[in-house]
């Protein structure tokens, strides 16, 4: 367990090193550079949080919260303030115990998101991960819109060693889903992963199409455990919040896959989403290889973002 | 309220400013505080916002604002001027060599920015301008990337040069240019793989491409929804590869597009085009000054007017205006106007450019203007005889029944259409009167939008 944890942690840290270098060095200097907690001190915290894409709204509420606690607990030292800040963000990001229940059930996982966030790649990685856990997985290529999306997913299916059900480009995605459900039943698959076309969340017709897919699953496969994951690009700014919200309106979103955290993006939007919508981040993508999808761990995520004294720094 | 767009927000702020006759320094500060929050919420880089606020404040809290007759307008002007100067005030065309030489364009950017789609769109655009473009598939990493380029290239009628996934991208680029020379193509578009700007090996690959072929335009493709990271991306690509121009994608979403400001401020390179949709011809010229005024909530009126001018036959528009005035508007004209609107990118595209429209209003209206209903209306009208279309008063019960059958709709729908059409005609009669007096103060497109 300790080994596994370290592996995960190192990978996460490796992915987030750049992030941490800027955020953490920033934090280091404010926490040590200030002898008292004053407005300048808070301004600098604001700057660092905003630059981490946490967003001005969430940042403001985090800081208000912090100020209140500082007052309540008569805190004078900036370093104690740091502990408080980290704790409050951790509290917000906490993931529940039942969040990965779908992995143990006969389930349908619908994966949605706007264009270019890494849906197909994430599904490929997720399929590989579940396959390694000994699950029988079927992929449904319901992105019949983007050119060659089906072929891209087929490539991933081959890499993961799982079966894939597809349709012609331009065919009705709902019919692909219908076929895939029948295949999943016939082969008693544990998990059916459905890839959908990228859609901008403000395009009404495409969002309605999602509703149709949902109805088909409900009607044809009511006994299945439902999981709906929204894939969000970690480099996206505040719009990710709008995306999560809009998808939440048409489907019952149960979790988030946050991708592309291996760059310089801070992924701070996850904090804002969790605090505003209460949707937990369940997986993060930290690279392009098939095993570069990790279960989200709030503690480690926040530590990796803030803690200066981790092994990552020494490497 | 957290989801108001930047233009909505600024509009609200300035609405309050306008209401006051005179401004105190505190008012200016309060307004600018809101501007700052709005910009940050729009994902404009923190550093860019900081310097922006500084220069605006310097100009706003000066004698000019306090002494001006209309202080609110003054603040708007200062903020707008600063935004425009930050965005760059001129439209920049993609620089191409003379038709006798080969221009090499390299598309680059992060994963998922939309390079492949944009490369094909750009190729189609250049082709329609009389160039002979060749697409080169240099993304050998992402599964099926070559296939995606081939499919999109085919839709544009542009040939795709590919060497499979085992030849290195610099060599593919070289061979593509040689192939272009041989076949008489004069633009080569290199579709490179998405890469992180901190991935040294992948960045070296781009440098290598630049070394082995003479890249005239290195185009950074950026997702308009990018957050604070936009600055890091632009800075790294500028430093390591060099950027000649930028294309912003996914601007048809509801993103506030702060990345546009950040990128411009960071690398100083012009934004050439904006990706406005999923269809292949949705790549539009980017107008920095209009983007700035759009951000300030004045609507993208200029774009709308230009679009209308390009697509509307002027004489037909005049004819239509005459008809509206006389209320001799027929179903034929209605069909015609629907056609014109389609050319302009459909109702929602038009709405998004109107001043004072915010996103929630647009989506509300979009709900009412179901595009499939437009198709049904079209079917109904097309099922009428020419006589019936020209003279709607002819329509009796049996004619309506025949039309309903022909269009494959319920007769109730035909009735509804005829009724609404009558109302619209009546409205036009009234409108016709008022049109004579005022010239379209806001936007003088004389088309019957309403009703359905």
What tens digit of pLDDT does each residue of A157-202 get? 999 999 999 888 888 999 999 999 999 999 999 999 999 988 777 7
Distance (Å) from the alpha carbon of B3 to chain A's nearest alpha carbon? 7
d(CA B275, CA B223) in angstroms, rounded, equals: 9
Domain with CATH 1.10.260.30 in chain B: 304-437
Q: What is the pLDDT of residue B361?
A: 56
Nearest CA in chain A to B360: A202
Contact between A280 and A296 (Cβ < 8 Å): yes
Q: Which residues lie below 8 Å from residue B414, measured CB to CB, with a gap of 6+?
A: B380, B400, B403, B404, B407
Given the cut 0.90, state whether the ipTM is greater than it: no
* pLDDT per residue of chain B (452 residues) written in tens, 0 to 9: 233 455 565 556 666 665 555 556 777 777 788 788 878 888 889 989 898 888 888 877 764 544 444 555 667 667 777 888 888 777 888 999 999 999 999 999 999 899 999 999 999 999 999 999 999 999 999 888 999 999 999 999 999 999 999 999 999 999 999 999 999 999 999 999 999 998 899 999 999 999 999 999 999 999 999 999 899 999 999 999 999 999 999 888 777 788 888 999 899 999 999 998 777 678 988 888 777 766 655 544 444 445 555 555 555 666 666 665 566 667 877 777 777 666 665 655 555 555 445 555 555 555 555 566 777 888 888 888 888 888 878 888 889 989 999 888 888 888 888 887 777 777 666 655 444 433 333 333 333 333 33
How many pairs of residues across A and B have Cβ atoms under 8 Å apart?
A: 149
Residue B210's contacts (CB-CB under 8 Å, 6 or more residues apart) are B106, B218, B241, B242
Helix axes B6-19, B71-87, angle to 10 degrees: 150
Q: How many CA atoms lie within 13 A of B271 on its CB side?
A: 35
Return phi, psi of residue B2, to 5°. Answer: -65, -15
Which of chain A's residues have a Cβ under 8 Å away from the Cβ of B278?
Answer: 115, 145, 200
Would the CB atoms of B223 and A116 count as touching at under 8 Å?
yes
CA B197, B200, B201, B203 dihedral sign is positive
- Which candidate in B37, B51, B140, B229 is best for mutational testing of the A interface (most A CBs within 10 A)? B229
Phi, psi for B190 (deg, rounded to 5)? -95, 115
- B103-298, which class in CATH? alpha beta
Query: Is the CB of A237 less than 8 angstroms away from the CB of B223?
Result: no
Cβ neighbourhood burial of B264 (10 Å; 0-12, 13-18, 19+): buried
- State the CATH class of domain B6-87: mainly alpha
Q: Output phi, psi for A144, to 5 deg.
A: -100, 10
Q: What tokens appear for A215 in the block?
A: 């109805």
Is B98 near chain A, with CB under 8 Å? Answer: no
Query: Which residues, at least 6 apart from A266, have a Cβ–Cβ distance to it below 8 Å?
Result: A19, A23, A51, A52, A53, A54, A234, A305, B228, B229
**Residue A139: in which H helix or E strand, if any?**
strand A137-142
Residue A49 pLDDT: 86
| Residue numbers of B between 390 and 449 with CB closer than 8 Å to A | none
Question: Which chain A residues contact residue B2 at CB under 8 A?
Answer: 57, 241, 276
Nearest-CA distance from B281 to chain A in Å? 15
Residue B227 has its nearest CB partner, among A116, A148, A269, at A269
Q: What is the DSSP letter of A205?
A: H
CA distance B431 to B452: 17
Q: Which residues of B touch A205 (CB under 8 A)?
A: 371
Q: Is A289 helix (H, G, I), strand (E, B) or coil?
A: coil
Question: Measured between alpha carbons, how far is B42 from B36 in angstroms, rounded to an integer?
Answer: 10
| Cα separation, B421 vs A36, whole angstroms | 72
Cα B188 to chain centroid distance, Å, stands at 25
State which CATH number among 2.70.150.10, 1.10.3720.10, 3.60.15.10, 1.10.260.30 fits the domain covering B304-437.
Answer: 1.10.260.30
Are A245 and B110 within 8 A, CB to CB?
no
Q: Alpha-carbon distance B291 to B279, whole Å? A: 22
Shortest Cα distance from A236 to chain B (angstroms)? Answer: 4
Continuous segment of H or E residues that includes residue A282:
strand A281-285
Nearest Cα neighbor of B321 from B411, B439, B210 is B439
State how far the Cα of A149 lies from the Cα of A124, in Å rounded to an integer: 12
Q: For chain B, where do the domains classified as CATH 1.20.120.140 start and end?
A: 6-87
Q: Which helix (H) or strand (E) holds B207?
A: helix B200-212
Task: Rounding to the nearest 10 degrees, give the CA dihedral for residues B75, B78, B84, B89.
Answer: 130
pLDDT tens-place string over residues A209-222? 899 999 999 999 99
List C-alpha distances in Å: A164 to A102, A124, A189.
20, 11, 12
Nearest-by-CA chain A residue for B1: A57
- Decide: residue B250, CB within 10 A, 0-12 exposed, 13-18 middle, 19+ buried: buried
Our CA-based measurement puts residue B279 at a distance from the nearest CA of chain A, in whole angstroms, of: 10
Does the beta-carbon distance from B152 to A169 stay under 8 Å? no
For residue B109, the SS3 value is coil
Cβ of B378: how many Cβ atoms within 10 Å?
Answer: 16
Q: Where in chain B is the domain with CATH 3.40.50.300?
A: 103-298
- Interface-testing mutation among A238, A266, A286, with chain B (most B C-beta atoms within 10 A): A238
Among chain A residues, the shortest Cα distance to B39 is held by A56
Q: Which residues does residue A228 pair with via DSSP β-bridges, in sequence order?
A: A110
Q: What is the set of domains in chain A, with CATH numbers?
A: 2-95 (1.20.120.140), 99-296 (3.40.50.300)
Under-50 pLDDT residues of chain A: 1-9, 15-16, 18-20, 23-24, 307-315
H or E element in which residue A229 lies: strand A225-233
| List of chain A residues whose C-beta atoms are within 8 Å of the C-beta of residue B259 | 237
């Amino acid at each position: 367990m300790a080994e596994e944890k370290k592996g995960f942690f190192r990978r996460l840290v490796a992915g987030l090193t750049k992030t941490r270098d800027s955020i953490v060095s920033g934090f280091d200097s404010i926490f040590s550079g200030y002898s008292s907690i004053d407005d300048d001190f808070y301004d600098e915290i604001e700057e660092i949080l905003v630059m981490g894409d946490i967003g001005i709204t969430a940042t403001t509420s985090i800081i208000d919260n912090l100020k209140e606690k500082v007052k309540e607990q008569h805190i004078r030292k900036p370093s104690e303030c740091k502990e408080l800040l980290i704790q409050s963000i951790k509290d917000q990001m906490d993931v529940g115990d039942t969040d990965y229940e779908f992995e143990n059930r006969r389930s349908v996982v619908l994966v949605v998101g706007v264009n270019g966030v890494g849906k197909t790649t994430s599904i490929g990685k997720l399929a590989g991960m579940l396959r390694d856990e000994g699950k029988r997985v079927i992929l449904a290529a319901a992105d019949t819109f983007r050119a060659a999306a089906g072929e891209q997913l087929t490539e991933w299916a081959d890499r993961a060693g799982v079966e894939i059900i597809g349709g012609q480009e331009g065919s009705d995605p709902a019919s692909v889903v219908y076929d895939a459900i029948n295949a999943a039943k016939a082969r008693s698959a544990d998990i059916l992963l459905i890839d959908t076309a990228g859609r901008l969340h403000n395009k009404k017709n495409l969002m309605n199409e999602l509703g149709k897919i949902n109805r088909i699953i409900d009607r044809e496969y009511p006994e299945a455990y439902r999981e709906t994951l929204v894939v969000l690009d970690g480099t996206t700014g505040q719009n990710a919040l709008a995306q999560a919200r809009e998808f939440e309106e048409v489907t019952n979103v149960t979790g988030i896959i946050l991708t592309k955290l291996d760059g310089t993006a801070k992924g701070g939007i996850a904090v804002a989403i969790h605090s505003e919508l209460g949707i937990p981040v369940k997986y993060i993508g930290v690279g392009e290889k098939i095993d570069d999808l990790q279960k989200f761990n709030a503690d480690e995520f926040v530590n990796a973002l803030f803690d200066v004294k981790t092994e990552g720094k020494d490497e | 309220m957290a989801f108001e767009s930047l233009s909505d927000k600024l509009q609200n702020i300035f609405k309050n400013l306008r209401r006051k006759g005179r401004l105190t320094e505190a008012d200016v500060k309060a307004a600018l505080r809101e501007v700052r929050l709005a910009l940050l919420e729009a994902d404009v880089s923190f550093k860019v916002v900081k310097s922006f606020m500084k220069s605006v404040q310097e100009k706003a809290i000066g004698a000019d604002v306090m002494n001006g007759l209309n202080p609110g307008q003054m603040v708007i002007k200062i903020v707008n001027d600063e935004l425009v100067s930050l965005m760059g005030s001129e439209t920049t065309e993609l620089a191409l060599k003379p038709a006798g030489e080969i221009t090499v364009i390299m598309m680059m950017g992060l994963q998922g920015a939309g390079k492949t789609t944009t490369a094909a769109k750009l190729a189609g655009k250049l082709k329609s301008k009389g160039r002979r473009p060749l697409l080169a598939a240099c993304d050998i990493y992402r599964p099926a990337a070559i296939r995606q380029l081939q499919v999109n290239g085919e839709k544009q009628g542009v040939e795709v040069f590919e060497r499979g996934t085992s030849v290195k991208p610099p060599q593919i680029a070289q061979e593509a240019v040689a192939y272009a020379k041989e076949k008489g193509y004069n633009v080569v578009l290199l579709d490179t793989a998405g890469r992180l700007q901190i991935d040294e090996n992948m960045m070296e690959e781009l440098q290598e491409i630049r070394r082995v072929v003479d890249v005239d335009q290195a185009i950074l493709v950026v997702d308009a929804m990018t957050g604070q990271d936009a600055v890091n991306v632009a800075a790294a690509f500028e430093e390591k590869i060099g950027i000649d121009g930028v294309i912003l994608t996914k601007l048809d979403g509801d993103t506030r597009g702060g990345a546009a400001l950040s990128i411009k401020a960071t690398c100083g390179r012009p934004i050439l085009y904006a990706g406005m949709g999923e269809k292949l011809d949705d790549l539009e010229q980017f107008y920095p000054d209009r983007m700035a005024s759009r951000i300030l909530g004045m609507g993208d009126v200029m774009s709308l007017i230009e679009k209308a001018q390009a697509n509307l036959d002027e004489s037909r528009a005049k004819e239509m205006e005459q008809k509206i005035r006389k209320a001799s508007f027929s179903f034929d004209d209605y069909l015609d106007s629907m056609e014109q609107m389609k050319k302009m990118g459909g109702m929602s595209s038009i709405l998004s450019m109107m001043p004072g429209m915010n996103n929630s209003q647009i989506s509300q209206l979009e709900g009412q203007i179901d595009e499939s209903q437009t198709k049904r209306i079209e079917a109904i009208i097309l099922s009428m005889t020419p006589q019936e279309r020209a003279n709607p008063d002819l329509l009796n019960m049996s004619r309506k029944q025949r039309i309903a059958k022909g269009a494959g709709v319920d007769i109730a729908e035909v009735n509804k259409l005829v009724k609404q059409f009558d109302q619209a005609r009546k409205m036009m009669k009234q409108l016709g009167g008022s049109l004579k007096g005022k010239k379209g103060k806001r936007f003088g497109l004389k088309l019957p939008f309403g009703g359905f």
